């Protein structure tokens, strides 16, 4: 490939690197970028909540900042899948043993790329510090964009946020773009189902739709995350890493990871991957000179998959998950004024102590995906409709539990809908068979926080499995376990 000795400042000023950054932002030498804004991180802090106009980009580049572009684009809807290795016991292991972290992801990436290629979608593939990003786009003038807009559900609170919260340049998210992004979230959920179902049997660690605490399988509590959680939040709040920019997360998390891991890991550069072997890619991302030389040859233009997305959307429409989504959105949350008589009066005596504790202490247990997953499973086993489980969670998010600025850029109702929908959908569609819905798994996952608890989660597990078998989900008997006679 050829390289030269180069430091960070020289690397960031390299003309090829600058061109590739602007390509990913949707611009070139003759056209302004189509990204609405960007955010820049330093070695000390990600600053991901501080949105910046693109006019400030050169000054941040010169400082060697990590760069993130807005998911929000003026011309297209960006489709983004985030894969990463997560370790709850040894978070620095991804940087101390990068080859292992990426080798564990190989089956997941192979399935994801093969499935997307079957529809003619060939995304831009980026290697980050702990995983990969796959990115493609759908132009707002396309049929696929219109189809996504017909699929999406945007609640009143999010509609208000879109209409009143602007970008640094004064742009507002249009109603149609908001619906299309919500519709994309449903299709990405379907895509994540396919990846998890096909890849999990090939992996030696669990594959989950997010950073969900799991029990140890080899040694640590580790997993591969097919992370679609960006679709839980407004499009105006989400970012994606810019290729050829630095990746400063190990430095930003120095206290948690340890100085030895941080010093060994840096520098890391986000790079597009084409035909490189894993060993070549890992070496490339640490070398400013080699990466600058790669920037002179690579492309970071986000591929247009507007036509190819039609078939994926059609596949989703015909799926069991789409049928479940229709049922999910057939109900509405109880109105805020009714909560004292509805969600606040949920009979907690029917709920096991661990789930009751989550409802009574939602910060931060209902911010942790594994905590929400437990609550969703319990309430489904008691006959609750998944949309009302979302309403129950929302009723906690929108009360004063010292959330601080947690909801500054996010919408509590949309976040509650997302998690209740995803975890219910995994079960309803048979992707989740509840193998870890028991007290022993809860202890292994670090999610058993009631000392000397006398409760047993197995009856809730059995009730939920029986509800699926006998097609009694979200039906009475309500607020109690459903057990057919042969189980009584």
What DSSP string describes 449-465?
Answer: -STT----SHHHHHHHH
Q: Residue 321 and residue 187: Cα distance in Å, rounded?
A: 9
Q: What angle do CA 103, 269, 5 make, to 5 degrees?
A: 115
Residue 165: the pLDDT is 84
**Residues present in the chain in total:** 488
Who contacts 53 (Cβ-Cβ below 8 Å, separation ≥6)?
37, 168, 169
Q: Residue 231 and residue 401: Cα distance in Å, rounded?
A: 24
Instruction: Give me the residues paired with residue 125 across strands.
Output: 134
pLDDT, the chain, mean: 94
- Range in 184-193, 305-314, 428-437, 447-456 with the lowest mean pLDDT: 447-456
Q: Specify whether the CB–CB gap between 468 and 453 falls below 8 A.
A: no
Q: Residue 49 and residue 69: Cα distance in Å, rounded?
A: 12
DSSP letter assigned to residue 216 = -
DSSP letter assigned to residue 438 = S
Q: Residue 177 and residue 154: Cα distance in Å, rounded?
A: 10
Mean pLDDT along residues 209-226: 94
Closest C-alpha to 110, from 90, 80, 83: 83
**Would you state the structure tokens that stand for residue 358, as one six-digit string?**
């989550």
Residue 163: the pLDDT is 94
Mean pLDDT along residues 79-96: 96
Q: Per-residue confidence at 54, pLDDT binned at 50, 70, 90?
A: very high
DSSP letter assigned to residue 297 = T
| pLDDT value at 433 more than 70 | yes
Q: Specify whether the CB–CB gap between 288 and 266 falls below 8 A.
A: no
Q: Per-residue confidence at 1, pLDDT binned at 50, 70, 90?
A: very low
Strands of the sheet containing 76-87, edge to edge, are 207-208, 222-227, 76-87, 131-139, 124-127, 271-272
pLDDT tens, position by position, 129-154: 999 999 999 999 999 999 999 999 99
Closest C-alpha to 66, from 251, 245, 288, 284: 245
Residue 488: the pLDDT is 43
- Range in 115-129, 141-155, 398-412, 439-453 with the lowest mean pLDDT: 439-453
Q: Residue 397 and residue 420: Cα distance in Å, rounded?
A: 13
Q: What angle do CA 33, 38, 42 make, to 5 degrees?
A: 135
Phi, psi torsion values for 174, nearest 5 degrees: -70, 160
pLDDT tens, position by position, 327-350: 999 999 999 999 999 999 998 888
Q: Residue 221 and residue 206: Cα distance in Å, rounded?
A: 9
Q: What is the pTM of this model?
A: 0.96
Q: Per-residue confidence at 266, pLDDT binned at 50, 70, 90?
A: confident
Q: Residue 201 and residue 207: Cα distance in Å, rounded?
A: 9
298 or 1, which is more confident? Answer: 298
Residue 486: the pLDDT is 58
Residue 4: the pLDDT is 60
| pLDDT value at 2 more than 60 | no
Q: Residue 434 and residue 431: Cα distance in Å, rounded?
A: 9
Strands 271-272 and 124-127: antiparallel
Q: Per-residue confidence at 476, pLDDT binned at 50, 70, 90?
A: low
Closest C-alpha to 377, from 288, 481, 224: 481
Residue 417: the pLDDT is 98
Residue 3: the pLDDT is 52
Q: Cite the DSSP H helix spans in 411-453.
A: 412-428, 439-445
Burial of 94 (0-12, 13-18, 19+ CB in 10 A): buried
| pLDDT value at 84 more than 80 | yes
pLDDT tens, position by position, 18-46: 999 999 999 988 899 999 999 999 999 98
Q: Residue 243 and residue 20: Cα distance in Å, rounded?
A: 7
| pLDDT value at 487 more than 70 | no
Burial of 428 (0-12, 13-18, 19+ CB in 10 A): buried
Q: Specify whether the CB–CB gap between 205 and 218 falls below 8 A.
A: yes
**Would you state the structure tokens that stand for residue 385, as one six-digit string?**
């409709």
- Angstrom distances, CA of residue 35 to CA of 32, 71, 78, 83, 454: 9, 8, 10, 22, 54
| pLDDT value at 434 more than 90 | yes
Q: Is the dihedral of CA 187, 206, 415, 380 positive or negative?
A: positive
Q: Specify whether the CB–CB gap between 93 and 87 falls below 8 A.
A: yes
Q: Residue 192 and residue 79: Cα distance in Å, rounded?
A: 13
Residue 358: the pLDDT is 94
Strands 207-208 and 222-227: parallel
- Range in 146-160, 234-248, 250-264, 280-294 with the lowest mean pLDDT: 250-264
Q: Is the dihedral of CA 320, 325, 330, 335 positive or negative?
A: positive
Q: Is the dihedral of CA 422, 165, 241, 74 positive or negative?
A: positive
Q: Per-residue confidence at 477, pLDDT binned at 50, 70, 90?
A: low
Using a pLDDT cut of 90, give the percent of the chain over it: 86
Who contacts 355 (Cβ-Cβ below 8 Å, separation ≥6)?
374, 375, 378, 379
Residue 265: the pLDDT is 84
3 state DSSP class of 116: helix
């Amino acid at each position: 490939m050829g390289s030269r000795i180069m430091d960070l400042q020289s690397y960031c000023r390299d003309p090829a690197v600058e061109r590739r950054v602007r390509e990913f932002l949707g611009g070139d030498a003759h056209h302004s970028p189509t990204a609405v804004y960007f955010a820049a991180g330093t070695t000390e802090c990600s600053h991901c909540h501080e949105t910046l106009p693109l006019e400030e980009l050169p000054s941040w580049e010169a400082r060697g900042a990590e760069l993130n572009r807005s998911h929000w684009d003026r011309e297209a809807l960006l489709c983004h899948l985030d894969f990463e290795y997560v370790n709850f016991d040894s978070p620095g292991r991804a940087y101390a043993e990068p080859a292992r972290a990426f080798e564990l992801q190989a089956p997941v990436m192979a399935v994801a790329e093969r499935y997307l290629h079957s529809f003619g979608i060939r995304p831009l593939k980026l290697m980050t510090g702990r995983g990969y990003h796959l990115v493609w786009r759908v132009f707002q003038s396309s049929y696929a964009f219109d189809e996504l807009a017909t699929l999406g559900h945007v609640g009143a609170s999010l509609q208000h946020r879109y209409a009143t919260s602007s970008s640094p340049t004064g742009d507002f998210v249009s109603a149609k773009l908001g619906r299309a992004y919500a519709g994309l979230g449903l299709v990405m959920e379907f895509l994540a189902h396919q990846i998890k179902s096909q890849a999990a049997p090939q992996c030696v660690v669990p594959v989950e739709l997010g950073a969900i605490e799991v029990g140890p399988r080899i040694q640590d509590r580790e997993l591969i995350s097919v992370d679609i959680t960006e679709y839980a939040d407004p499009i105006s709040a989400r970012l994606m890493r810019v290729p050829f920019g630095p990746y400063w997360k190990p430095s930003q998390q120095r206290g948690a990871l340890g100085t030895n891991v941080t010093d060994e890991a840096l520098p890391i550069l986000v790079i597009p991957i084409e035909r490189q072997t894993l060993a070549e890619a890992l070496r490339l991302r640490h070398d400013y000179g080699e990466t600058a030389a790669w920037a002179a040859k690579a492309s970071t233009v986000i591929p247009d998959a507007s036509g190819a997305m039609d078939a994926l959307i059609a596949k989703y429409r015909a799926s069991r998950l789409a049928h479940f989504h229709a049922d999910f959105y057939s109900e509405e949350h109880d109105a805020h004024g009714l909560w004292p008589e509805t969600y606040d009066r949920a009979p907690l005596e029917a709920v096991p102590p661990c789930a009751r504790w989550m409802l009574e202490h939602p910060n931060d247990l209902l911010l942790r995906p594994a905590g929400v997953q437990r609550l969703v499973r319990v309430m489904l086993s008691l006959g609750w409709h998944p949309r009302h489980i979302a309403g129950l969670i929302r009723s906690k998010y929108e009360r004063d539990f010292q959330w601080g600025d947690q909801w500054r850029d996010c919408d509590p109702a949309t976040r509650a809908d997302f998690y209740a929908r995803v975890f219910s959908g995994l079960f309803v569609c048979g992707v989740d068979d509840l193998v870890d819905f028991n007290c022993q798994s809860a202890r292994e996952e670090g999610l058993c926080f009631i000392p000397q608890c006398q409760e047993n989660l197995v009856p809730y597990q059995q009730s939920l499995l029986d509800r699926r078998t006998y097609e009694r989900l979200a039906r009475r008997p309500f607020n109690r376990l459903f057990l057919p006679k042969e189980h009584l």
